[in-house]
Amino acid sequence: MKPGKNGSQLGFHHRPDGIWCDNVHLDSLAKKTGTPCYVYSRSIIDRQLMRFASAFKGLDVLPCYAAKANNNPEILRHIAGHTELSWGIDAVSVGELHLGLAAGFRADQMIFSGVGKQHSEIDLAVERGIVINVESLFELDDIIEIARSRGKLAKLGLRVNPNIDAHTHPKISTGLKKNKFGLSREMFDVALRRITEAPETLQLAGISTHIGSQITDVSPWKAAALQLVQLADAIHAKGGAALEFIDFGGGFPVRYDGDNEPPGVEIFSGIIRDSMAGAARPETKRLRIVVEPGRWLVAESGGLLTRVIGVKERFVVVDASMTELIRPALYGARHEIIFACNPTLPAVPSNGEGEGFEIVGPVCESSDVLASNIRIKHVPKKNQLAVLMQAGAYGYSMASNYNQRPLPAEHLIADDKVFTIRKKQLLLAPDPDLFDEPLDLPL
């Protein structure tokens, strides 16, 4: 972990007196605010922002943060205000569009993706001049109708499905023909023709692809990038659309659960540099580059703080659950976990020696397992603190109220101070008046 001010460590780490994040003792935080809760290090987000700027230095690049990874308004505002490099946002719902606009992202630096955009969502994007990534022909029909009714020019991207296997988990793979995302080449050609036939209503601003998340084998990503550049060359060769950008998507990986260090963002920026340098058309070489990092920017910044309720044989029952962090239950994701403990019995990563434990939550599901076969050199004690690491992405944003559990608080550590950036949800009793009157529906 990179050192912070005065040589201190940034992010989550263990010291003899417990678990720390940056220069904040998490036991003190947990006693004051309760658990479970999310804790984020702004220093780690800043580290990632600066690393990204360095990796893409010299390129005309617009990074669009994938808001689905972590949509906390304060984190969005911080990314939007980054001065080293101007950031846009990749949104997949009208809610994310509104959050992005409220956080200070410019409408002309936003991209609206997703396979099931509804009429009201498209209407907002057209009205604000936000680029819409078209993913179906029926969606293109809706855009044409809305743009004509508003008398506005709709700015479009076309998302192509390259039918390339990203060699990642099937549930986060998006670039195969069997996945629901993007246009097949046949559909892409039809959409391109329809756009060129309606220049008063539609403007093709760019083309894009995204083959999946957490990509550790870069060869498929390289093949998709090459295919996209060749597609831009083909469009320019026909002399039709004057493209503004080429969007390579995201999928930059992070390290989970003691895994080997995955390919760095510098590898992906190098692939983009080589792909653009190899373009056949000068118009393609001049295109603005768009990329869509989400997980990579925020995952390592966040941890889910929890306390041990008790230990039953190999089961360590904690107060966090799948309602706060569903990734392990949803697709077998593994997060590194560290425990506060006696300094003579230090917690070690989950691949250490010792007895294997199941870290489980209180939700009434057998799938409520946060970490499996965890190897630690001590038996966790009641009320002992622990943190599930690399939880800054797809943690809170995927949380739920299952079992009527409240959504947890979120805290941001900035300049060695702790700020509550989302309070713990207060679940109220149902409104007894809701059943008083039936809806007046036509027969």
Q: Out of 21, 64, 341, 364, which one is annotated catalytic?
A: 364
DSSP state of 107: G
Query: In angstroms, rounded to a whole number, what is the distance separating the alpha carbons of residues 21 and 300?
Result: 11
Active-site annotation holds for 37: no
3-state secondary structure of 237: helix
Query: In angstroms, rounded to a whole number, what is the distance separating the alpha carbons of residues 389 and 169?
Result: 20
Cα 88–chain centre separation? 14
Q: Tokens for 311, please give them.
A: 């230990």
416: left (phi over 0), alpha (psi -120 to 50) or beta: left
Helix axes 137-150, 119-128, angle to 10 degrees: 50
Terminal C-alpha separation, the chain = 65
* Dihedral sign of CA atoms 41, 43, 47, 48 in order: positive
Could you give the dihedral angle defined by the CA atoms of residues 186, 187, 188 and 192, in that order, rounded to the nearest 10 degrees?
110
Query: In angstroms, rounded to a whole number, what is the distance separating the alpha carbons of residues 272 and 233?
Result: 15
Could you give the dihedral angle defined by the CA atoms of residues 268, 272, 278 and 284, in that order, rounded to the nearest 10 degrees?
170
DSSP secondary structure, 125-192, as one string: HHHHT-EEEE--HHHHHHHHHHHHHHT-PEEEEEEB-------S-GGGB--STTSSSSB-HHHHHHHH
Amino acid at 357: F
Closest CA to 251 of 211, 194, 207, 278: 211
Q: Which helix (H) or strand (E) segment is 75 a member of? A: helix 73-80
Residues annotated as catalytic (active site), given as ranges: 364
